[in-house]
Structure 1
Amino acid sequence: MFWDSLPVEIQTHVLEALVLHGDSARYASICRTWQTIIEQRIFARLKVTRSRLAGFSDIGYRHRHLVKCIWFSIEPSDHHCPHCGGVGAYNWHQVSSKTIRKAIQDLVIQLSRWEPSGSLLLDISVKAPSGVMHSSSIIQYGPPAISEPKKDKIIQCSHCSNKDLLIATTYLFNETTNVREPKPKPSKKMPKARAVTSLLLRRQTRHPWKSEALEELLDLLPEVHEIHYEPWRDWRRIEERPTNTTTMRLCKSLRSDQLRRMVVFENFHGNKPAISLAVQAAEIDTAYALVEASLGLEHLAASFVSDASHFFDACQKWNIWPRLESLALTSNVLEPQQQSIYINDLLETIALVAMKMPRLKLMELWNGRAGFAGVFKYQIFESDRTAKITWRSTWDLTLESRVLEAWQAVVSERVDCKLEVVTETLDANVVITSHGDAIRCLMLLNTVVHPVSLWQIQKETALQNKFRFP
């Protein structure tokens, strides 16, 4: 049977298998057709580390347009502990602030030579765990191209000195002690990486980035129209400096006509503690910054950074969102112990704000922790000019007539049809152990967290529960 006589689908599957499991370079030399298809898959996603950065410039002009994603993993050096004999990637002091900053600048210098050619995603992560303990743990790492990230053994050793720990406080991350590094002097005029169109900062870095570092990074990537940011919440630091949150400053720096999509997912360990008045004030400030940043966006998803009730209160100040097509927010009002009148109040308020968003086709208000999950979903289907609202949760809720009337008014402005109302209760046998499980069970249509990050949350929660409940 001749190759050309095979269906295109079979040819594609065969070549993909060869790329995954074989000698790609040898197969690409068989014929020009194979070379073209195999090169598209080889160069589509690249992983770059500090040690490989020098050879990154070897990618020729003929191949650069094939690159769609660059995962820049700033990895720590292997270290041997003389006290316990452990070998592995050790603690934050193995990746200094100068190393991280210099690595990013070197990458940008390389990318500044690339001509814009469609979409290019830059995924930056620092591969090092936080915390100091004499134990081995499995931290999940993986590039955005795969759904099952490989496991890397990270050894954390308690034999490093307190001096090393202070050095570990980097310029790129929020300080965890009262001792701070001197702020680095401004670098010389840096070139811009205009080929990069999307920026991804995933949770696996395991530290919140400092707002100054993010602003500096975004300045080097002037053509970014999509940003996906997954910080970790440091409760103690927020209590100390509640009015200066990183997310709030990030949103203020993102007021640009260039930006079209923003996803912010603030991760945390376990369930959130009781929110103090100081933290609530910080969330309100963040909500106002989010609203201002959203005015020019087409898609916004902001999870756990601020309560949706603050966001919609802040929306009263503005008249219209001309571009916004999809919106996903979280709210602590959506909890099983909350009185239904307060949930209905919020859903009615949202409908009033939705009237200011003429292009809105999808809105999801959700919440989830260990033990519960719930979402209110609004959808417009332009293909058949229909509309639907859905309540899906682990507990029963009756949508009051005032809520239905408010959303019917929104729909009548868009497609002039009768609103379909759907209520779904999750199976009682479904076990929800984390906010990651909640996202899976709710089947959210908006992207609120990166797929690999969601996988990490679920795997790490399962591992924690295994040791907690043997």
Structure 2
Amino acid sequence: MGCWARLPAEIRLMVLENVAEDYRYKSEPHARAGYAIVCQEWRAFFEPRNFQRLVLDQDRISDFELFLGRESPRSHRQEYVRHVVLRIRLGEYTCAVCKSKEDGRTVRRNNMAFSNAVWNLLIILSRWNPGHKGLTLELGAYSPSDSKHTFKDFRLEPNYPYQVPKDLDKRFESYKLRIREVGQLGLDSTSNDPYHGWVGGLQEASSVGLGAKQRIMGTLSLATNRRGFSALPRVEFVTGLLIRRQLYRAFSGKALARLLSESFPCLRRFRHEGWRNVDPSIQLRSEKDYECLILQSLPNTLRTLHVFEDSNKLLHSQHPPKAPNMSLGRALSRSSRFLETLSVAFLVDAEDFLTEFWPTKPLPTNVLPWENLRRLALTSRLLHPSRMARGDLGNLLVAAGRAASFMPKLVSMEIWNGGEGNACIFRYRNAAGERPRIILSTNWGSHVELDYDVIQCWANMPRHGQHLIAEVIPLPLRRNVMRTYAHIIHHLKLRYDVLDPISHYQVYWENEQLRLEEKAARARHRHELILS
């Protein structure tokens, strides 16, 4: 340490910065904690980084209070915390029940685990210094058994390595390592697990029963009250709420509504990535609850809202998703006028969001504008070559232009869709120092054009001053290799509004894995033909 002290302060800081930057998911898990006890100087440097993001389950909440509680001499650490991940660990299960829906007793036990964890954490946070600069709470729930039966997803495992964007590697090294470990995507018979639908490292959607899907996609609800509280504890410095697609299990719309309205009155950012339920009745009830949340529970401090409803071929017979909820789309349109950024994928359709601006209707005279909206991303089933010939696509883009005239600060809008063989993006861009432009990008062929009415609608906005550029640009996505929406997200300018960076990384890999599985299936089929 004597040699260290003789180094110039600038050199010491550079060394510490390099040590901190080199810390990745492959590092020794507790190494950075050890750096903080080297000396007082190292502690002052590493402690804020060590406590910046904390991952908890229900068993660690008491330690969380011990190390950061109000009465603790270490309470100064509270100001370091910017991101708390509450990952509720549910009970394990065996092969005796892995193919069946959770029974009532299991549901009640899971709800109690969720409720206790949320209440206990919020009670602790409510005692913190109210002058905290702002914290993001991330919620997730899983059972350690979820990755051991029918769904052997790498991202469901407790030791999933990619936790923050700096962990991500372009070569998918951990995914490839995991594939080699379990023998997937090969023809090795040792990777067989026929009871759970795995043969030769591959899994067919037809082998996955409804009960197994329902178990892994269970919905958690909050208990009505606890410890004499009539409402959830109020935590004004929670400014972000994050739920990522990594885990299948959902939180009920009523539970989220209570968190938004009772606990987080100063929320500014809400990202909700969920999975469409495989049970249509549960999905319908969930959408009704979500509509109530949209209409009644969004705090007026909210400025950024990202909603993504996911689906895949393994879980859903209808893929891409079913028809979006019309009333939910209209409710979101009415309740989003105070936002600065809005992205909604698949849960609602741009057609319903823009219904009051449809060109076949007279423009309403009492429109409440989106005064602060700068970025908007929506999906629509009308972005399909069959809809272009019928005029539906043109009507949608005219409606988008009419709505944009009530968005005076709009910089970027993207309406997009993608699926089996089909990819389309409509993009509007009006950034400072650039000429405004609209672009239609598809993989439909050379016959695609922007309607004259669409161009005129967008060009006639006063803020464009007749300088609008209208372009049609092909998307470099071959129709015969298009499988899911994942192909197109990489081409979106607003892709990190559509999906969290880690979620985008997962989607990109899963799409690549799908391609490799199809390739392996074709190889296996040829192998079987040769043997026969």
TM-score, reference length from structure 1: 0.81
Measured in 2, the distance between the counterparts of 1:79 and 1:216 equals 30
Written as runs of structure 1 = structure 2, the 5 A alignment for 1:203-218 is 203-218=245-260
Measured in 2, the distance between the counterparts of 1:209 and 1:28 equals 37
Judged with a 3 Å threshold, the aligned counterparts in structure 2 of structure 1 residues 46 and 304 are, in CA distance, closer, same or farther, namely same
Contact 1:122–1:196, Cα closer than 8 Å, also in 2:
yes
Measured in 2, the distance between the counterparts of 1:331 and 1:106 equals 41
SS at match of 1:72: strand
Deviation at 1:121, TM superposition (A): 0.9
Deviation at 1:436, TM superposition (A): 2.0
Choose which of 230, 239, 262 in structure 2 pairs with 1:197.
239
Q: Is residue 327 of structure 1 aligned with residue 349 of structure 2?
A: no
The amino acid that maps onto 1:172 is: L
Map of 1:434 onto structure 2: 484
Deviation at 1:10, TM superposition (A): 6.4
SS at match of 1:365: strand
Contact 1:254–1:293, Cα closer than 8 Å, also in 2:
no
Contact 1:243–1:285, Cα closer than 8 Å, also in 2:
no
Deviation at 1:356, TM superposition (A): 1.0
Contact 1:130–1:207, Cα closer than 8 Å, also in 2:
no
Judged with a 3 Å threshold, the aligned counterparts in structure 2 of structure 1 residues 136 and 420 are, in CA distance, closer, same or farther, namely closer
Deviation at 1:405, TM superposition (A): 1.7
Choose which of 390, 402, 409 in structure 1 pairs with 2:460.
409
Map of 2:54 onto structure 1: 46
Q: Is residue 453 of structure 1 aligned with residue 503 of structure 2?
A: yes
CA offsets 1:235-265 (integer angstroms, 9 cap, x no match) = 5425984795343222123343211111000
TM-score, reference length from structure 2: 0.72
Map of 2:334 onto structure 1: 292
Choose which of 266, 270, 275 in structure 2 pairs with 1:232.
275
Contact 1:130–1:206, Cα closer than 8 Å, also in 2:
no
Written as runs of structure 1 = structure 2, the 5 A alignment for 1:252-331 is 252-270=295-313, 273=318, 283-314=325-356, 318-331=367-380
Deviation at 1:193, TM superposition (A): 1.9
SS at match of 1:266: strand
Map of 1:108 onto structure 2: 122
Q: Is residue 17 of structure 1 aligned with residue 22 of structure 2?
A: yes
Contact 2:91–2:110, Cα closer than 8 Å, also in 1:
no
Deviation at 1:370, TM superposition (A): 3.6
Judged with a 3 Å threshold, the aligned counterparts in structure 2 of structure 1 residues 288 and 114 are, in CA distance, closer, same or farther, namely same
Judged with a 3 Å threshold, the aligned counterparts in structure 2 of structure 1 residues 426 and 351 are, in CA distance, closer, same or farther, namely same
CA offsets 1:183-229 (integer angstroms, 9 cap, x no match) = 95433324212221100112233144322111122222222111111
Deviation at 1:7, TM superposition (A): 9.6
Q: Which runs of 5+ in 2 are unaligned?
A: 1-5, 69-73, 157-161, 183-192, 197-210, 358-362, 522-532
Measured in 1, the distance between the counterparts of 2:58 and 2:89 equals 7
The amino acid that maps onto 1:14 is: V
Map of 2:201 onto structure 1: none
Judged with a 3 Å threshold, the aligned counterparts in structure 2 of structure 1 residues 11 and 240 are, in CA distance, closer, same or farther, namely closer
Choose which of 174, 180, 186 in structure 1 pairs with 2:225.
186
Map of 1:143 onto structure 2: 163
Most deviating of 298-307 and 447-456:
447-456
Q: Is residue 351 of structure 1 aligned with residue 401 of structure 2?
A: yes
Judged with a 3 Å threshold, the aligned counterparts in structure 2 of structure 1 residues 351 and 134 are, in CA distance, closer, same or farther, namely closer
Judged with a 3 Å threshold, the aligned counterparts in structure 2 of structure 1 residues 79 and 248 are, in CA distance, closer, same or farther, namely closer
Measured in 2, the distance between the counterparts of 1:157 and 1:100 equals 31
Deviation at 1:15, TM superposition (A): 3.4
Judged with a 3 Å threshold, the aligned counterparts in structure 2 of structure 1 residues 129 and 371 are, in CA distance, closer, same or farther, namely farther
Contact 2:102–2:215, Cα closer than 8 Å, also in 1:
no
Deviation at 1:408, TM superposition (A): 1.4
Q: Which runs of 5+ in 1 are unaligned?
A: 174-182
Map of 1:56 onto structure 2: 64
The amino acid that maps onto 1:404 is: I
CA offsets 1:366-425 (integer angstroms, 9 cap, x no match) = 11124332111111112x253122222222421122212211122xx2353611233321
Deviation at 1:144, TM superposition (A): 4.4
Map of 2:293 onto structure 1: 250
SS at match of 2:220: coil
Most deviating of 250-259 and 46-55:
250-259
Map of 1:180 onto structure 2: none
SS at match of 1:137: coil
The amino acid that maps onto 1:192 is: R
SS at match of 2:426: strand
CA offsets 1:38-85 (integer angstroms, 9 cap, x no match) = 22321221111112111001123222111111111112345676x79x
Choose which of 399, 416, 421 in structure 1 pairs with 2:470.
421
Map of 1:122 onto structure 2: 137
Measured in 2, the distance between the counterparts of 1:290 and 1:13 equals 45
SS at match of 1:249: helix
Provide the alpha-carbon RMSD of the alignment.
4.0
Map of 2:412 onto structure 1: 362
Question: Quick check: which has more Rg, 1 or 2?
Answer: 2
Map of 1:36 onto structure 2: 44
CA offsets 1:90-132 (integer angstroms, 9 cap, x no match) = 9894961111111111111111122342231111000238999
CA offsets 1:121-161 (integer angstroms, 9 cap, x no match) = 11100023899995461241453454369779999998xxx
Deviation at 1:441, TM superposition (A): 3.1
Choose which of 82, 107, 113 in structure 2 pairs with 1:68.
82
The amino acid that maps onto 2:275 is: W
Contact 1:261–1:297, Cα closer than 8 Å, also in 2:
yes
Contact 1:128–1:205, Cα closer than 8 Å, also in 2:
no
SS at match of 1:421: strand
CA offsets 1:258-307 (integer angstroms, 9 cap, x no match) = 1111100011123883999xx75x71110121012201111111110111
Contact 1:230–1:265, Cα closer than 8 Å, also in 2:
yes
Judged with a 3 Å threshold, the aligned counterparts in structure 2 of structure 1 residues 14 and 165 are, in CA distance, closer, same or farther, namely closer
SS at match of 1:64: helix
SS at match of 1:106: helix
Measured in 2, the distance between the counterparts of 1:416 and 1:7 equals 55
Most deviating of 248-257 and 347-356:
248-257
Most deviating of 370-379 and 146-155:
146-155
Map of 1:394 onto structure 2: 443
Contact 1:19–1:38, Cα closer than 8 Å, also in 2:
no
Give the count of matched residue pairs.
Answer: 447
